[in-house]
Structure 1
Amino acid sequence: MRSRSPSTNNALLIASACLLGLLSTTGASLPYPILAPLFGGDTGNGLTNFLGIPAKLLLGIALMVNPLGLLIGSTVLGAVSDRLGRRRILLATAIGGALGHALTAAALVAESYPLFLLARFGTGLLEGNGAIMRAMLAEKLEGGLRNHALSWLNGAFHLGWLVGPLLAGLTVGVSITLPFSIAAGALLLGAALAALALARETPAPATGERWWAVARERHAFTLLRHAPLRALFYIHFAYACGVAAFYEFFPLWLVDVGRYDVRQIAFVNMGMCALMTFAALFAGRASNIDPQRRASVQAGLAALAILAVGFGSLGVGLAAIVLFGLPHAYYNATVQGWAADRFGGFGQGAVMGLLSATFCLANIVMALAGGLLALVDTRLVLIVGGAMAVWAALAMRSASARKAERAVGAK
C-alpha cells in the first residue's frame, strides 16, 4: 500500500480534528434550548420533581455539571494524551461521549434526575478532549499552517454552538430524545472516520505508570509552578471571566431590555456564532507583530463590545453582541498559537489543557458570581466582566512591553 504524502496527512489530521471538534461542541450545546422549557414549565415530569427541590434549582445544577466535567476533562485528558498517545485517547473519549449522549436520552425516557446528572457530567468529562485536538495540531504542524489549523479548529468549536441549538430546535418536536440520539450516532461516525484518517502512533516506552497516576501527577494545573505559565493563567483567566459573563448573561440582558423570547435570542446567538466561525477561517494568518501585543488589542476590542452591551441601548447592544465574535475569534487564535510556540516544551497536551481548563473554570466562577450580581442588575454582570477583560488586555500589553525592553537590553 502506498504511503500518504505529508500534505495529505496534514489535510486528514486537520479535517479529523475539526470534525470531532464540531460534533463534540454540538453535543455539548444541545441541551440549552431543551432544558429551560422542561424545567421552567409545570410539566409534572419526574425529572423536574426530584426530592421536592425547586425546578429552577434543579435546572441550575443540571447546567453546572457539564461544565464541571469539562473542567476536569480539560485539566487531565491533554496531559494523559501526552503520555499515552493522542489518537488512542481521542478516539476513546469520542466513543465515550457518544455513550454519554445515549445515557442522557435514557435518563430522559426514565425521567431519572440522578441518571441525567451522571450522563451530563460524564459527557462533559469526555468533551474535555478539545485539549487533545489542539495538542495534535500543535505537535504535528509547524509555522503558519499550525496557526491556521488551530484557528480552523476554533471555528469548528464555534460552529458547534450554532449547530447544537439548531439541531435541538428542529428535532425535539419529534421526540425529546431524538437530538441526543442523532448526536451520539454522529459522534460514533466521526470517531470511525477519524480512526481511518489518523495515523497510528508509535507507543511511548512503557514506564509502568497507570493513566490515573499520569492524570494525578501531570494534570494541566501543575504547569502553574512555572512563573511564565502562571502569568499567562492569570491574564487568560481574567479575559475568560469577561467572556463567560458575556456568554452566560447576554440572553438575560436581551430579556430584561428587549423582552426577547427564545427564538429571538437564538437568532442573535446565531449571528454572533456565524461571524465568529467566519473570522476563525482567517484569524490564523501570520503577522510580524508581537503575538502578546496583538492579543492585547484583540482582548481590548472584545472588552469594549462587552461594555457596550452593559452600558448601551438595545440597538447598540445587539450590534456589540454580534460584533464580539470578531475580536474573540482572533484572540483565541493568537493566544493558542503563541502558547504552542512558547510553551510546547512542557507538553502540548498539558498546555492546551491549561487554556481550556482556565476557560471552564471562568465559566463556573462567573455562573456563581454573575447569578448574585444579576439579583441587583444584569448590566452589572456585563460591566464587571468587561472590566476584567480590560485588565487582561492591559496586562497582556504590559507583558509585551517588558519583553521588548528585555530584547533591547540584551543587544
Structure 2
Amino acid sequence: MNKGNLLTLFGIVFLDLMGIGIMIPVLAPLMLDAGGTLVPLDWTTADRSIALGFLVAMYPLAQFFGAPILGALSDRYGRKKLLITSLIGTFIGYLLFATGLLTQQLWLLYFSRALDGFTGGNVGVANSAIADISTNENRAKNFGLIGMAFGLGFIFGPFIGGKLADPTLVSWFSAATPFWFAALLSLGSLTLLTFLFKETLQTKAHRPIHPFMGFRHIAKAFQMQNLKIIFLVIFLHTLGFCFYAQFMPVFLVQKFSMNTAAIGTLFAFIGLWIALTQGLFLRVITRFAKPQKILRFSLLGLSSLLFLIPFAPTVFLLYALQPFMALAEGLTFPSTTTVVSELSLKEEQGEAMGVTQSLRALGQALPSLIAGFLVTINQNLAILTGAAIILLAWAIFVICYRTHTRSEPEGRA
C-alpha cells in the first residue's frame, strides 16, 4: 500500500469537508435573517425555511447526476484525472457563491451549488482510490482514516466558517469571507493532488455513461443480491442523518437563538468526536468486531440519540448528548462503506462506490426538500423524522442482512 497516496487522499478529503463544513453555520442565519437583503423582505419565516431547504438540496441533487458519471469515468481514465476535474469545479463553485453573496444574487447561489455538486464527486472517487489500495486486512482501518478526515473537516470547517463570517472579530469579515477561504482550500487540495498523488487504478474498465446514470444506479443497487440490503441501509442512514445535520442549524436558531459563531462552535465539537471515533476508537473496535456487527449497535444508538436531542432543555445538555451521537455516527458511516467494498469485485470498486455515492446524494437531497416544510410545522419535526428513518434502517439491517462474500448481480453465476 502506498502510504503517500493514503495521506494525500486524507488531505484531499479533509480540505474538501472543511470547505463544506464552513457553510454549515452560515447558511441558516443568512437565509432566516428577517432584516437581510438576500431574500425579499416580505418573505415569511416559512418562505425562508423552504428556500433554505432548496438551496441546501442543490448540491446533492446535482451530485446525484454527476457523481455516477465521474465514478464511471474514473474507472475508464483513472482516479487522478477525475479528482482534478472535480476539484476545479469545486473551486469555481465557491468563487461564484461568494460573488453571489457580495452582489446579493440569490439565483447565483443556487447555480454555484449545482455546479459544485455536479462536479463534486471527489469524495466518491477518493473512496474508489482507497478501495484500490486496500486489502481485506486494512480496508476498515483505511476507510476509518478517511472518516477521520471527515470528522476533522467538520471540526475546523464550522468553527472557522462561524468566525470568518463574524464582522465583530474583523471589520471586513462578512458572510462571503468563508467562501473565499473555501476556494483557497480547494486550491490547496488541487496542489496536493497534482504533485503528490500517484494513480491507483490498475485495471481500467469501460462502462457505458449516460446522463441519468444516477437513476440507473438506484435500479442497479437493488439488482445486486449481496449488496441490495446494505445499499438500502446506506440510503436510509444518509436520509435520516441529513434530516438532523442539514436542519440542526435551523433548530439551534429557533430554539436557542444561536448566532453563526455559536453554531460553528457546536458543529466543531461534534466534528471533534467524530474524528476521535473514526481515527482512534474505530481502529480499536475493528480488532474485535467486524463492520457488520458494529452496525447492529451503532445504527440503534444513533437513532436513540437523535430522538433525545430535540428535547434537550438547555445548551449544556445539548452539548452533553453530542459525543454519544458522534460516536454512533462515526462508527456507522465508514462501516457501511467498508461492507460495500468488501462485497464488491476488484474491478467493480469504482462502480460500487459510484452507486453508494448516488444513494447518499439522493439521501442528502430529499431531507433538504422535505425538512424545509417540516420545520414550518414544528422545529423538532425534522430531527425526529431523521431518528425514525434511522431506526427503520437498523431494523432492516438486523432482520434482513446476511453475511455474503463477493457481489454478483441477479442471474449471474
Mapping of residues 289-304 of structure 1, within 5 Å: 289-304=289-304
Q: Could you tell me how far 1:236 is from its partner in structure 2?
A: 2.1
Distance 1:161 1:28 in 2: 8
Q: Could you tell me how far 1:299 is from its partner in structure 2?
A: 0.8
Amino acid at match of 1:76: I
SS of the residue aligned with 2:198? coil
Q: Label 1:264 to 1:137 Cα distance change in 2 as closer, same or farther (>3 A).
A: same
Residue 184 (str. 1) matches residue 183 (str. 2) = yes
SS of the residue aligned with 2:188? helix
Q: State the identity %.
A: 20
Give the corresponding residue for 2:355: 354
Match of 1:48 among 33, 36, 39: 39
SS of the residue aligned with 2:227? helix
1:73 and 1:129 in contact (8 A); partners too: no
Give the corresponding residue for 2:7: 15
Q: Which has the higher helix share?
A: 1
Deviations 1:84-104 (A, max 9, x none): 211110111112211221222
Distance 2:260 2:244 in 1: 17
Show structure 1 runs of 5+ residues with no match.
1-5, 405-411
Give the corresponding residue for 1:309: 309
Q: Could you tell me how far 1:258 is from its partner in structure 2?
A: 4.3
Q: Label 1:206 to 1:141 Cα distance change in 2 as closer, same or farther (>3 A).
A: closer
1:68 and 1:121 in contact (8 A); partners too: yes
Count of aligned residue pairs for this structure pair: 393
SS of the residue aligned with 2:344? helix
Give the corresponding residue for 1:115: 108
Deviations 1:336-374 (A, max 9, x none): 112111124462222223223323322322233334443
Give the corresponding residue for 1:133: 126
Residue 66 (str. 1) matches residue 64 (str. 2) = no
Deviations 1:219-242 (A, max 9, x none): 575343223332222222222222
Distance 1:192 1:324 in 2: 35
Show structure 2 runs of 5+ residues with no match.
405-413
Mean Cα deviation higher: 34-43 or 160-169: 34-43
Mean Cα deviation higher: 237-246 or 209-218: 209-218
Residue 244 (str. 1) matches residue 242 (str. 2) = yes
Match of 1:277 among 275, 278, 284: 275
1:83 and 1:214 in contact (8 A); partners too: no
Q: Label 1:183 to 1:377 Cα distance change in 2 as closer, same or farther (>3 A).
A: closer
2:59 and 2:117 in contact (8 A); partners too: yes
Distance 1:106 1:250 in 2: 26
Mapping of residues 61-100 of structure 1, within 5 Å: 61-100=54-93
2:92 and 2:183 in contact (8 A); partners too: yes
Mean Cα deviation higher: 311-320 or 120-129: 311-320
Amino acid at match of 1:388: I
Give the corresponding residue for 1:103: 96
SS of the residue aligned with 2:220? helix
Give the corresponding residue for 1:124: 117
Amino acid at match of 2:129: M
Misfit runs of 4+, over 6 Å: 50-53, 201-207
Report the TM-score when normalising by structure 1: 0.83
Q: Could you tell me how far 1:249 is from its partner in structure 2?
A: 3.6
For the pair shown, which has the larger CA radius of gyration, 1 or 2? 1
Distance 2:56 2:214 in 1: 26
Distance 1:52 1:248 in 2: 21
Q: Label 1:57 to 1:300 Cα distance change in 2 as closer, same or farther (>3 A).
A: closer
Deviations 1:26-78 (A, max 9, x none): 22233333333433335664x43499996555434322212222333333322
2:303 and 2:391 in contact (8 A); partners too: yes
Report the TM-score when normalising by structure 2: 0.83
SS of the residue aligned with 1:378? coil
Report which structure shows greater RCO (CA 8 Å, sep ≥6): 2
Q: Label 1:305 to 1:40 Cα distance change in 2 as closer, same or farther (>3 A).
A: closer
Match of 2:137 among 144, 147, 169: 144
Q: Label 1:25 to 1:127 Cα distance change in 2 as closer, same or farther (>3 A).
A: farther
